[in-house]
Structure 1
């Protein structure tokens, strides 16, 4: 085993993951948008005093959207690296990855409506 590989094994795996998250925050405006939306949802959740079960659903939904967005960003970066020129197959791959984010976001909106609309109506 070469020395460079041994040094990499000593580094904690979480640091690579954290670096990936930070890089995504720096470079991907859509991810930053999702983080802003996450902040808004968390604040609303505290204000509307959602139940523990509702918190679990909200957190799972937030996680789904953020994971989909990071995965989409990674797929796009791989395609740009492997095939920097415009190619129909690359477009299909990128569009499919973006579609997964759209589905996750739409599901999160539906879940948010199911949880928050009754609580908002109760306040009125």
Structure 2
């Protein structure tokens, strides 16, 4: 095991997270994550519910990171408009939209009954 190489890998990974956080959409996801965590604390989610919320929030973040990486790679490959690159970017953004919609549905399933019970 090469510890210095492994530590450098972590350094690069944190740099990637920093790059991601410069993106407007990632900042929205950060805001949404904070709202979800605070709401979860407020309504008292169970361990199972926290696990589900954590997985779905993580999937949204991973999708956003891949979307950002794909967009940056596409911009590097061609600065001019190209129909195929446009489709790649659209597909990547669509993946984020799909998992985000699923996250909203799961959020409604988990949070709505708890919120209604506290009214």
Higher Rg of the two aligned structures: 1
Flag structure 2 segments of 5+ consecutive residues without an equivalent: none
- d(CA) in 2 for partners of 1:47, 1:109: 18
Of 36, 43, 47 in structure 1, the residue corresponding to residue 42 of structure 2 is 47
Of 19, 26, 42 in structure 1, the residue corresponding to residue 15 of structure 2 is 19
Match of 2:84 in 1: 89
Match of 2:94 in 1: 99
Flag structure 1 segments of 5+ consecutive residues without an equivalent: 1-7
| TM-score, normalization by structure 1 | 0.90
Match of 2:30 in 1: 35
Q: Runs in 1 of length 4+ with deviation above 2 angstroms?
A: 8-12
